[in-house]
Amino acid sequence: MLETQLISAAEAGDTDKVKSLLQQGASIETRDASGATALLVATHENRVDAARALIEAGADVNAKDKIQDSPYLYAGARGHLEIMKLTLAHGADLKSTNRYGGTALIPAAERGHVETVKALIEAGVDINHVNRLGWTALLEAIILGTGGEKHTEIVRLLIKAGADVNLADGEGVSPLSHARQRGYGSIETLLVDAGAR
């Protein structure tokens, strides 16, 4: 079946085969058992050229699988910067959320993907969006981050972009309290300088 071959070619990053199958009439929005499209499968494997070919052929960058991942959300969360930028240029829904109710910015901040965070901020994603855990990107960068150079830079970027440094978690614990509890001195300094209490 052409569609099964399309998903396999996308996963393998065989761009020529992807293009050939599309020309033969393979449905671009076909899904595998997990609900993933060929574009999402290519995104999982960070197959940039295959993803580009699919996007340029009109693949939906917001199509979600059964666990609420889309090519845009997954690329953001994993720091697959080139694919994420392609999705942003082709209609990524900045308000779309993952299964945790978070935007792409939140897992990108948590995982220390500095360039991805920069690109999402520039694209205009909501800096202060709160996910189902009651956390913003700033809180996740502190709570689930390492306190190291990458997470400190992400905190700096988020503050510069207008993150609310006093927006507490669901239990009322502030970003500053979380940074202090973890001994993240550099982050604590950034927060205090930005007016955190």
Kindly report the pTM of this predicted structure: 0.95
Tokens 């609420």 -> residue: 68
| pLDDT one-digit tens code per residue, 155-183 | 999 999 999 999 999 999 999 999 999 99
**φ and ψ of 38, to 5 deg:** -60, -40
| pLDDT one-digit tens code per residue, 115-164 | 999 999 999 999 999 999 999 999 999 999 999 999 999 999 999 999 99
Task: Name the class of domain 1-93.
Answer: mainly alpha
Q: Please, is 12 exposed, middle or buried when counting C-beta atoms within 10 Å of its C-beta (0-12, 13-18, 19+)? A: middle
DSSP 142: H
Q: What is the CATH number of domain 103-197?
A: 1.25.40.20
Q: How confident is the model at residue 66, as a pLDDT?
A: 98
Residues 6+ apart with CB under 8 A from 152: 184, 186, 187, 190
CB 120 within 8 A of CB 105: yes
Distances (CA, A) of 71 to 26, 61, 89: 19, 5, 13
Count of helices and strands (H, E) across the chain:
12, 0
Residues of the chain within CATH 1.25.40.20 domain(s) are 1-93, 103-197
Residues 6+ apart with CB under 8 A from 134: 169, 170, 171
State the Cα–Cα distance between residues 54 and 95, nearest whole angstrom.
23
